[in-house]
Structure 1
Amino acid sequence: MSRKRIRATVHGRVQRVAFRECTRQEANQLGVSGWVRNQSDGTVLVLCEGEASQVDALLAWLSIGSPYAMVTKVDWHEEEPLGEAGPLVIRYGA
């Protein structure tokens, strides 16, 4: 199985709508590690790593987001996997 690591910026109404918490829950159900945090420009930044299919599933979920979110765009790029494991966590501060 191949590992994948992505850095994604989620645009739209994604702050103050439980987006980070829902992302944390979805990632942990999928077995994806990393972190999620709000950015000062109103976007949400997600850095995650896991099996390629699991990361792809989280990326697809990010385009929809939490029930109260309104995602307009997700920009992302791949990075070199570092072999990190563990739960995805919420980071605070921009």
Structure 2
Amino acid sequence: MTLLSSITTIHLKVYGKVQGVSYRYWVKENAIKLGISGWVKNKDDKTVEIIANGTQAHIDSFIESCNIGSENSEVQKVDILLIDKVGHGGSFPLSDFQILYDNLSDD
């Protein structure tokens, strides 16, 4: 099995008290620790959206941590909207994880 074929990409939507509590920064820190690439951003509906790309084992750990949340967050649920077993074909460098900003206020 090649490294690319073992890469999984997930699309998460996180509900609860996850904006204004540094949740995105916490997600980024955990992603970097796990070697996951992708991005996280606040949505207008008060949720947080995450795209994460990494090995299945690291993605599983990442999903678990997203369900727990940061110290001041209160995660109600995490929906996995998309799972791609092939990955993005290298569209993210494996060491890159970013916080994307909109016109929303920062945490």
Specify the TM-score bucket, using the shorter chain as the normaliser: over 0.9
Equivalent residue number for residue 83 of structure 2:
78
* Percent identical: 33
Q: Unaligned regions of 5+ residues in structure 1, if any?
A: none
Residue pairs, 1:1-94, within 5 angstroms:
2-76=6-80, 77-79=82-84, 80-82=86-88, 83=90, 84-85=92-93, 86-93=95-102
Give TM-score, length-normalised by structure 2: 0.83
Q: Unaligned regions of 5+ residues in structure 2, if any?
A: none
Secondary structure class of the residue paired with 1:40: coil
Structure 1 residue 56: Cα displacement: 1.0
Determine the C-alpha separation between the residues in 2 that align with 1:89 and 1:17.
Answer: 17
1:51 aligned partner, one-letter code? T
Determine the C-alpha separation between the residues in 2 that align with 1:64 and 1:87.
Answer: 23
Mark the structure with the bigger radius of gyration. Answer: 2
- C-alpha RMSD of matched pairs (Å): 1.3
Give TM-score, length-normalised by structure 1: 0.94
